Chain A
Amino acid sequence: MSTEKVKEAIAKVLPDVETVICWQGGFDAIHATPCFVSSPEQIDKVIWSPLCAQNLASYLPSMKKKVGIVVKGCDSRTIVQYMQEGLIDREKVVIIGIPCTGVVSVKKILKEIGHEAVLDASFDGSGSITVRTPKGEKTLAIADVCPDKCRTCQYPTPLVYDHLAGDPITSDKPKESVYQDIREFDAKTLEERKAYWEKELDRCIRCYACRNACPMCVCQDSCIAETREPHWISQKLSLQEKFMFHMIHALHLAGRCVECGECDRVCPMDIPVSKMKKKINAEMKELFNYETGVNPDDKPPMFTFNVDEVKIKEHKL
């Protein structure tokens, strides 16, 4: 799992493709940013580290020519889902997979360092990051500042790839842990859950970062959040409108959300929007024994219709 191996793989892939989508350093030492490498001399700026949190696969459907892409295990689920839904041409994507032991959440780091400006940061190679701010240095275990999805990661090695930059690794996290948070949340009363969402969604500023960063949001420029025909949502800033948008977003992702967590990561107001989608995914698992983005040959349950759905009682009437 080294930057050098990733760079080598990019150099190998580059002659065959228009561009390789990967990461480079961002505006400060705790941010990575996507980059599009299209010539060998650009490879130098490529990085791979736990800062590389963005799910780059989201760019694939908009790519017209053959491209290379660097993906982590979790990101590869997006590609698998795209394949299931016919949103990309697999022949036009060269995948460089990276076995990943976990990335960092910038939001969690910022919380730990009191939201100070970052002067420098470094990884010690043994699972921690040291961040320097004007107020001093702080060393944090990556396990403590990783996004929630890493804590229950089942697929540290990409499920689909053409080149693997590193040796495959397997998950040591129990399968049951994946929806543990949802089960805990479900245990709350309806009133508690309602109050929770009212409080969280009240902060929504309708910037649609969650939608635009979502790899599976396919309506994009025709989203009902902005259209007048249909005119389902008004431009009033009421909780009702915000709720409506997020519910539609979640429902459109039923059995499609690949749980990459981009919606949570990008929300400038720290709204845990992925929770709604994860809840629906948990239901999909329960009803159809379906898990998104793990097998290219699967068909998303909402793309099919069976008269005899084993777990849906109404159909047994």
Chain B
Amino acid sequence: MPDTGYLPKEKVKDFIRELAKDAIVHVPCLEGETVVFRPFSEDRELCLERPANTPPKSIIYPQSETLFSFEHKKDPEDHQKMSVELKVDIDAPGTVIFGARPCDARGFVIYDRVFIDTDTPDPYYKKRRENTLVVTLSCAAPFPGCFCVGVGGSPAGKEGTDAMLTEIAGGYIVEPVTEKGKAILNKPMVEDGSTRLKDAQQAQQKAHEAVKNPFAGGMPNISPELFDADPFWEQALSKCVSCGACTYLCPTCYCFNITDEQVYGKGERIRSWDACMFFHFTLEASTHNPRPTKFQRFKNRVGHKFVYYPEKYEGAIACCGCGRCIRYCPVSVDISEIVNDLGGGGKKEQQPAGSAKND
């Protein structure tokens, strides 16, 4: 078996069909102008031209999932007495994520530290992660707002990936990264790609150079004084509308809520994504709120990614530079600019925004 495969473009769908024989294959699909991951079916319109609006994180870490179900039951002997029955059913079928971007895959590595490499691993995440194969598609060019190279990633970065596809003339080079990923080279649609690996490597190099690096002079050294200065955050975040777009679209945001839903004595305890940008996130029953303003909440968000997470995990940054938070922010808040400003120097020039020639 060769170390490198080649998948002709016209066989991509067959390849997905082959994978779908023994797994649910999530693929990026075009719906109107939006790209979303959906379980593959023949009527889906595959879109490999650009990253999905939402990262594939929900496939391993669903936006809402049942932790367990419960049922209050009357004791048949003594109707005054109630008992409770709890049931856990972790739904983790064999899954393939096809067409994730390297930044998306890197997000899973950031989650692995939190959910798996801890003294209380999360069985839901762990089981799904173990049962999922991540087939990544490297990026040929940057997309609006993305800056993966600034946070140690790359348009062809392999962290979190099992196998990587890179587009070359006529098809894709398939590079296995893990043992799990190697298995896909056995699929009949995959040809030997060894001789053309260098084409892929060239494309990867070109893409890497094209990505803007907001931290070209190295990762900014966040100044503790600025970080703790309220005026800094007030100035930087006056425009923030405190919605959850940045967190829900983020491949590395994982904060969650746990709530009970019950109808007539039967119900479920649900774990659902939550956003640190929401007022409710830290609101206590006493009405005390430790982070009542959007400034404090955003400070926590930046802190979590660029200060607190690195403190906990040997300097690793909890941001993969996918750019979605910048691209889709209602008011174009740019987290890379904020981190640069926190570093004191490195103040980015504002783009002229095309207005100059309008007068």
Contacts and interface: CB of A to CB of B under 8 A. Distances in A.
A262 interface: yes
B221 interface: no
A221 B279 contact: yes
Interface SS of B by simple majority: loop
Given A54-B331, A269-B54, A29 B257 contact: no
B302 interface: no
B330 A123 contact: no
Interface of B: 31-34, 36, 49-50, 53-54, 62-64, 141-146, 210, 212, 235, 238-239, 241-245, 247-249, 257, 259, 261, 270, 272, 275, 278-280, 324, 326, 328, 330-334, 337, 350-359
A206 B354 CA distance: 33
A235 B245 contact: no
Nearest to B31: A203
Listed from nearest, the 8 A-B pairs whose CB atoms lie closest are A25-B353, A266-B330, A268-B328, A212-B243, A49-B355, A121-B354, A237-B64, A235-B272
A203 B248 CA distance: 13
Contact of B353 (A32, A110, A237): A32
Contact of B272 (A58, A237, A269): A237
B270 A35 contact: no
A192 B174 CA distance: 43
A147 to B, nearest CB: 14
A30 interface: yes
B141 A121 contact: no
Nearest to B242: A212
Interface centre among B34, B272, B337 (most CB of A within 10 A): B34
Interface residues of A, number: 67
Contact of B331 (A33, A47, A125, A135): A33
Interface of A: 2-4, 24-36, 45, 47-51, 54, 58-59, 107, 110-111, 114-118, 120-125, 129, 134-135, 199, 203, 205-209, 211-213, 220-221, 226-228, 234-237, 262, 265-266, 268-270
A24 B350 contact: yes
B194 to A, nearest CB: 29
Nearest to B257: A235
Given A3-B358, A234-B261, A235-B270, A29 B54 contact: no
Contact of A114 (B49, B243, B328): B49
B337 to A, nearest CB: 7
15 contacts: A26-B334, A26-B353, A29-B352, A33-B239, A116-B143, A134-B142, A208-B243, A209-B241, A209-B330, A220-B279, A228-B259, A235-B261, A237-B63, A237-B272, A266-B243
